[in-house]
Amino acid sequence: MLTTPASHRRCQRLHSSLTTKDIMTNPTSSPRVVVIGGGVLGVSTATHLARAGASVTLLTESSISSGASGRSLSWLNSAGERSPEYHALRMAGIDRYRTLGQKLGDSRFLRFDGGLTWASPGESYAGRYQHERSIGYDSIWLRPDEIERWTPGVDAASVNPEGAIFNPGEGWVDLPSLIEHLLTEFRAAGGAVHDNVGRVTVETANGRATGARTAAGDVHDADAVVLATGPWVPGALEELGVRVVDQTPISLLLTTRAVETDLRAVLNTPRVAVRPTPNGTLVLDSGWSEEEVVDLGNGSYQVNDDTIAGLLAEASAVLAGHPSLELDRYGVGPKPIPGDGEPVAGQVEEIPGLHVLFTHSGATLGLILGELVAQEIVSGTPSPLLRTFRLSRFSVPAP
C-alpha cells in the first residue's frame, strides 16, 4: 500500500489554499487552474496559463471547437466606431495574431489580406471612413473601379456607387485550426484535456470557486476556475447567484464546397459577409439569414432551404464571375454577445477564484484575452487593459 509522505501532504494542503495574493507573493507556487470551455477563449487561456507554469486542466462539454468557435466568421478587425478602450483591446488582439503569424510563416489558417466593406443603397459609410482615419486605423476609400487593383475577386458592379472602405491591416483566422495549434503547445506543456465530459459546473465552498464537476460527478479541484463557455456563460453565472446582461442571438454560418475565386480579403457587404478558408471553400453569414432561423426550443434549430439558397445567391452576386456556390455544411447555434456589446473578462467579484470570459469578438480577442486573464491569475495583479470590461459593470445579485 502506498502512503503519502507528511511533507507532501503539507504541500498539498498549502497548494489547495492558495489565493491569487499567495501566488503573486510566492512566484515558486504552481497554481492549479481548471478552464471550462473548449473554444478559442478557453483554449487560449489554458495555453497561456501553461506557458506561465500553472497546472491546468481543460474541461469541455462536448468536442473541441464544437460551439461558437466552430461557426464564426473570424474576421480580425477593429473597424467602425466603438469605445476607445475596446478599440485598444482589439488592436492589441490583432497585434498578437501578427506576432503568431510571423512565427508560423506562410500560414494557411491565419491571413492578413485586408477587409472590404460597403454600405447599403441609400446609405453612406463616409462618416465611418472619416472616423477610422481620425483614430489612425488603416482605412482606404476606393471607388468601385479601383477595387480590383487593391483586392481582387469582387464584382465591382455590386458595390455601392459611392465606393467602399478597404482596411489593409485586417485579416481572418480559421479558429478550429488555431485551437488545434494551441492545444499542441498546451499538451506539450503538461496540460490535461478532458472533452465530451457533459455539462460542467463550477464548484464553490464558503463563497469561493474551488474547482469544477463534470456530468459524471468527477470533481477537479483548483485554486482558480476560468469560465469560458461562450453563450452559456450567463446561465452558469446565474446558477451561482450572479447575473450578466445578455443579448445572445442565434448565428448561422454556411460553408461552401471548394470554389475557384481570387478572393483573399474578408467581405462585409449589405447582404452577406464572405471570407476564404484554408481549403479553398468560403464561409458566409448575414444578419437577415440569422433572423430566419427557427429556434425549436429544445436546443435544436430549423434552417429553411430558402435561407440557405438565398445566402449562397447573395455571396455569388458579390464575387467576380458570379461562381456557382454549393452548400457543403452549415453550423447554427447561439452567438455570445454581452448586453452592451463589449467584452466581459476577468475576476468575478462576487466569487473569489472565479474568472470569466464572455464576448462577441472571440476571434479578434482570442489570443489577447487568454494572455491577460492568465497573467491576472498567475500574478494576482489586475490588467489595466481589462479595467472597463469587468462583469461588475452590470452584474446584479440574483434573487
pLDDT score for 251: 95
pLDDT score for 280: 97
Q: pLDDT-derived band of residue 19, with 50, 70 and 90 as boundaries?
A: very low
pLDDT score for 396: 52
80-105 pLDDT, tens digit per residue, is 999 999 999 999 999 999 999 999 99
pLDDT score for 395: 58
Report which residue type is found at 260. E
Are the CB atoms for 92 and 362 separated by under 8 Å? no
Q: pLDDT-derived band of residue 30, with 50, 70 and 90 as boundaries?
A: confident
Taking the C-alpha atoms of residue 329 and residue 252, their distance in angstroms, rounded to an integer, is: 11
pLDDT score for 11: 36
pLDDT score for 28: 46
Q: Give percent of the chain with pLDDT exceeding 90.
A: 90
pLDDT score for 12: 36
Of the listed ranges 28-32, 251-255, 351-355, 391-395, the one predicted with least confidence? 28-32
Are the CB atoms for 121 and 156 separated by under 8 Å? no
Torsion on CA atoms 349, 350, 354, 360, rounded to nearest 10: -70
Q: pLDDT-derived band of residue 394, with 50, 70 and 90 as boundaries?
A: confident
Cα 230 → chain centroid: 8
pLDDT score for 139: 98
> Which residue, chain included where needed, has cell 450572479?
242
* Burial class of residue 287, CB neighbours in 10 A (0-12, 13-18, 19+): exposed
Locate the DSSP E strands across 290-353.
294-295, 301-302, 327-334, 344-347
Pairing of strands 55-59, 32-36: parallel
Taking the C-alpha atoms of residue 359 and residue 355, their distance in angstroms, rounded to an integer, is: 13
pTM of the model: 0.91
Nearest alpha carbon to residue 252 among 60, 61, 68, 37: 68
> Which residue, chain included where needed, has cell 474578408?
266
CATH numbers and ranges of domains, the chain: 31-108+172-245+339-394 (3.50.50.60), 115-168+249-334 (3.30.9.10)
Tabulate helix, strand, coil % of the chain (nearest 5): 35, 25, 40
pLDDT at residue 20 tops 70: no
49-82 pLDDT, tens digit per residue, is 999 999 999 999 999 999 999 999 999 999 999 9
Mean pLDDT, residues 157-164 taken together = 97
Q: Please give the grid coordinates belonging to residue 148.
A: 480590383
pLDDT score for 4: 34
Are the CB atoms for 86 and 238 separated by under 8 Å? no
Taking the C-alpha atoms of residue 82 and residue 136, their distance in angstroms, rounded to an integer, is: 14
Q: pLDDT-derived band of residue 337, with 50, 70 and 90 as boundaries?
A: very high
pLDDT at residue 16 tops 70: no
pLDDT at residue 3 tops 60: no
Taking the C-alpha atoms of residue 150 and residue 153, their distance in angstroms, rounded to an integer, is: 10
